[in-house]
Amino acid sequence: MQQPDIVFPNLGIEFSKVDPVAFRLFGIEVYWYGLIIVSGVIAGLLLARYRAKQVGQDPEIYSDF
């Protein structure tokens, strides 16, 4: 029996034979780790803009940074 590639033991979720390529766009391979990194950067920017509004700062400063 083959061991799964990704396991979440407490949730009972297992993934086997995970392709590192999420999709291909015009012949360019887009990898899962790239999507995760981009999602983290966007989430961080949105959170920083949200917090800037709460404390009275200009959120555009964070977008420009």
What are phi and psi for residue 64, nearest 5 degrees?
Answer: -70, -35
Q: What is the mean pLDDT of residues 12-26?
A: 90
Query: Given this model, what pLDDT does residue 1 score?
Result: 58
Report pLDDT digits (tens) over 25-56.
999 999 999 999 999 999 999 999 999 999 99
Report pLDDT digits (tens) over 49-62.
999 999 999 999 98
The domain spans of the chain are 19-64
DSSP letters, 7-44, are EETTTTEEE-S--SEEEEETTEEEEHHHHHHHHHHHHH
Q: Say whether pTM exceeds 0.75.
A: no
